[in-house]
Amino acid sequence: MLSIAHQQLSRIMRPDDANIVGNVHGGTILKMIEEAGGIISTRHCNTQSGDRCVAALARVERTDFLHPMLIGEVAHVSAELTYTSRHSVEVQVNVMAENILTGSKKVTNKATLWYVPFSLQNVDKIIEVPQIEYASPEQEEEGKKRYEAQKMERLETKERNGEAIIPVISPEEYTVGFSQSSLIHLVGPSDCTLHGFVHGGVTMKLMDEVAGIVAARHCKTNIVTASVDAINFHRKIKKGCVVTVSGRMTFTSNKSMEIEVFVDADPLVETAKGKYRAVSAFFTYISLDKDGKPLPVPTLKLETQEEKKRFEEGKVRYLHTKAKRQAEQERQQ
């Protein structure tokens, strides 16, 4: 029998969780997802004797925002351990929105997260993970396949880490330079784990804010997060660092926008270490009218060969996701 551990968090959505039309920010939901995942994985990794540890977020698989969540609804975030390797934990999370006036419920998000446990005594020491029991060998084998796939994708993503977003003087409307945006944040104690490193959920919330600004600048309408491609946490961010979160438009379809987001950390005290790329991801947004219906997205104007290359890469990701979604819908019929 699979040794299942569950964790559930619930919280009512307040006005400061949402945008100006009442849709809860995708970053707020991502932060709650990470909190639930962090609790369940840390708790599991401390069920054995030896060093006490805290599980750090290493990767978030593609996450789709299935339905919008609104102010006044209660978010129920449920997390479950589904696979363990020697040094990592897979957590699957479901998010449900409940209207407490009518009793209606809807699933808004499903996410898969990977955590790595680090010793509290030595922050560079990775702790061995207690293994869970599986209902069948097939279930364990499926988990192993997911683990190997995410490991390979993390290595491929690191190859992009040298790229930077350069400011553009007097950019033309609907170009990459016109909508690209950055946010600077000083990491404080409230942002951090017991180790003194930034919570993954805090980082994801900042990334979603920047991506949302890019999307809003491009189409000048109400925008919402539609999905987040895999978020890779390459290096930890320490308390006292200044983080620069930068976003740029990479692809537009008729009704969606893909935004690439980088997080760079700059230590204020340990300056010898220099600035480094900590996190990267692709966010997808859609444009909505006042009734919440999708609007056409202005076509992205491409000015350089690099922009054209990124656009074609984004198109491949878009078509791959579209084909995968259609295949899933056919299987369900």
Q: Are 6 and 79 in contact (CB under 8 A)?
A: yes
- Please check whether residues 16 and 115 belong to one and the same domain: yes
Question: For residue 73, what are its two tokens?
Answer: 């609804």
Give a yes or no: residue 1 inside a domain.
no
184 and 153 both lie in a single domain: no
Residue 137 sits in the same domain as residue 185: no
Residues 27-70 have pLDDT tens digits of 999 999 999 999 999 999 999 999 999 999 999 999 999 999 99
One domain for residues 241 and 111: no
Shared domain for 141 and 266, answered yes or no, is: no
Active-site residue 46, yes or no?
no
Element (H, E) at 179: helix 176-179
Same domain as 145, residue 47: yes
Residue 167 lies in a domain: no
Residues 189 and 149 in one domain: no
| 266 assigned to active site | no
User: Does 267 reside within a domain?
Assistant: yes
Residue 154 shares a structural domain with residue 19: yes
User: Rounded to 10 degrees, what is the CA torsion of 140, 146, 152, 158?
Assistant: -130
pTM over 0.75: yes
Structural contact between residues 113 and 33, judged by C-beta atoms closer than 8 angstroms: yes
Residue 170 pLDDT > 60: yes
Identify the CATH number of the domain in which residue 198 sits: 3.10.129.10
- Its domain, for residue 197, covers 176-332
For the chain, how many structural domains are there in total?
Answer: 2
Give the contacts of 310 (CB within 8 A, at least 6 positions apart).
250, 251, 260
Same domain, 180 and 106: no
> Is 85 among the domain residues?
yes
**Shared-domain flag, residues 224 and 155:** no
What residues pair up with 248 in beta bridges, in sequence order?
A: 260
Task: State pLDDT tens for residues 302-332.
Answer: 999 999 999 999 999 999 988 988 887 777 7
pLDDT in tens, 251-292: 999 999 999 999 999 998 776 778 999 999 999 999 999 888
On whether both 195 and 294 belong to a single domain, the answer is: yes
Residue 164 placed within a domain: no
Q: Per the residue annotation, which of 191, 208, 229, 264 is the catalytic one?
A: 208
Judge if 231 and 317 occupy the same domain.
yes
